[in-house]
Structure 1
Amino acid sequence: MDSNAGVNGEEAASWDELYNIDLVPSELFLKFRKQLQGFTLGVNFEFYNAPINDFQTKLVLKPLSDERRWKFIYEPIRQDVRILSKKIPITKFLNLQVGIGHSFFLKATGWKWKLNTCFGNDGFSRLRNKTSVGLCDGVDFRFGWKADYVLPEITGALGTGEPLFNMESGRLQASLDRVEAIFTHTDD
C-alpha cells in the first residue's frame, strides 16, 4: 500500500491543502468620521478586489449614543439612499437587521432584512468576526476575518472490519477579508 494513500486508498491531502491562511484582504476601507452634536457624520471610501475590482463611496449619518437604533447611508455613485436598523439580537448568536431604501437611478423603493450570525454554513463550520485595534486617539483599525474548519477526528473499531485506529487531521481555510482604517475627529 502507498505510504501517501489515505482512507480507502485515496490520495492523502498535503498540509498546504488541509491548512491555508490567506492574509491578503479583498476589501480595503478608509472611513473618516466627524462627531457633531450627538451624531457621527462619516465618509467611507471602499475598495473591493475580489471577485472584481470595484470602488464605492458612502456618506453615513448615525446617532452617537450607544443605544443608536438606526443609521442613514447615501451612495452617490449608485444614487441609493438607505436607513438601516441596528442589529437586533434575537438569540445570543443570531441578529436581525432591517432596512428601507430608495434607488434614484432605478426609481424604486424597497426594504430588506438580514438574519446573520458569527457562525456560517451549517452553523459551526465557519466563524466570522471583526477585531478592532485602537492605534491612538481617533485612529482605529478593524480587521474582518473568517475561518472555515473541520475539527480533527480520531475514530477506531474492533471486530467490525473497520480500522482499529483512524485519524482525520481536519481542515482550516482562514482569510483576512477586510481591513478598515477609521479616522475620527472629535471636538474635545
Structure 2
Amino acid sequence: MEEEGQVVIRSSTGEEPITQYKVCKLNVVPKEIFVKFRKEVEGYRVGVNLEFHTAPYKEDLARLVIKPLAPNQRWKFTYDPWHREVRLLSKKIPITKFLNFQVGVGHRFQLLATGWKWKLNTYFGGDGISSVRNKTSVRFIPGVNFRFGWKADYVLPEVIGDLGTGEPLFNMNCGQLQASLDKVEAIFSN
C-alpha cells in the first residue's frame, strides 16, 4: 500500500518497489557528544574531555588529555579516571592522502592489564558501499569551536539496459544514501 506523497519506483525485474525511504535515510541524532576544555601550558595542550555516548552504549566518560603543541611531536597521553586507564597514543599519521595509521599502548589499573592497539583507517569504505567520513569545524566566537563528525554511506545510481537478450531495454538502480551525524564536539579553549 502506497502512502500519499510517497515516491515509488517500480522495478522491471519484479522486485519490491523502492520508496524514497529506502533511497535516502538521514539521521541527525548524534551518537556521541563531547564537551572539551583546553588550555595551553608551557608548550603542551592540557584538556578535559566530557564524553556522552547515546548509542549503542549509553555511557558517559571523562578524560584528561595532554599533548605537545610542537608539530613534530606525534603523541598524546590520556587518563580515564572512571575506568582507571592510561594510554599513550600516536596521532593519526598520514600514510597517503586518504589512509591514516595510529598506534597506542595502555594500562588498565583495575584489571592490571597492559596492551597495545593499532588502527589503519581511511575516509572511504568498500564492499560495494562507498563511505565518506569527515569532520566539519565551525568557529562560534573566539575560544569556542564546534566540530561535527558526519558520515555518508552511498551506492551510486546505475542505469543499465539490454537489447535482444530478453532482458529489459531500460532498468535503473536509484542508488542509496545513508547519512548520519555521529559526533558533536563543543571545544572551549583560551
User: Is 1:53 matched up with 2:53?
Assistant: no
Larger mean CA deviation between 84-93 and 176-185 belongs to 84-93
Task: Please name the residue that 1:37 is paired with.
Answer: 42
SS at match of 2:46: strand
**SS of aligned partner of 1:8:** coil
Instruction: Please list the CA deviations of residues 15-69 of structure 1 after superposition, one character each: whole Å capped at 9, or x if unmatched.
Output: 0121011111111000000111110000000000011311000000001123331
TM-score norm. by structure 1 comes to 0.92
Once residues 160 and 29 of structure 2 are traced to their aligned partners in structure 1, the CA distance between those partners, rounded to angstroms, is 36
Q: In angstroms, what is the RMSD of aligned CA positions?
A: 1.5
Counterpart CA distance in 2 for 1:117 and 1:70 is: 20
Distance in 2 of aligned mates of 1:157 and 1:120: 30
Q: Map 1:169-188; keep pairs closer than 5 Å.
A: 169-185=174-190
| 2:8 is equivalent to residue 19 of structure 1 | no
Aligned AA for 1:167? Answer: M
Question: Does the CA contact (< 8 Å) of 2:9 and 2:19 recur in 1?
Answer: no
The whole-number CA distance in structure 2 between the counterparts of 1:136 and 1:80 is: 34
Distance across 2 between alignment mates of 1:131 and 1:153: 30
Tell me the TM-score normalised to structure 2 length. Answer: 0.91
The amino acid across from 1:161 in the alignment is G
CA distance in 2: counterparts of 1:111 and 1:154, whole angstroms:
47
SS at match of 2:71: coil
Percent identical residues: 60
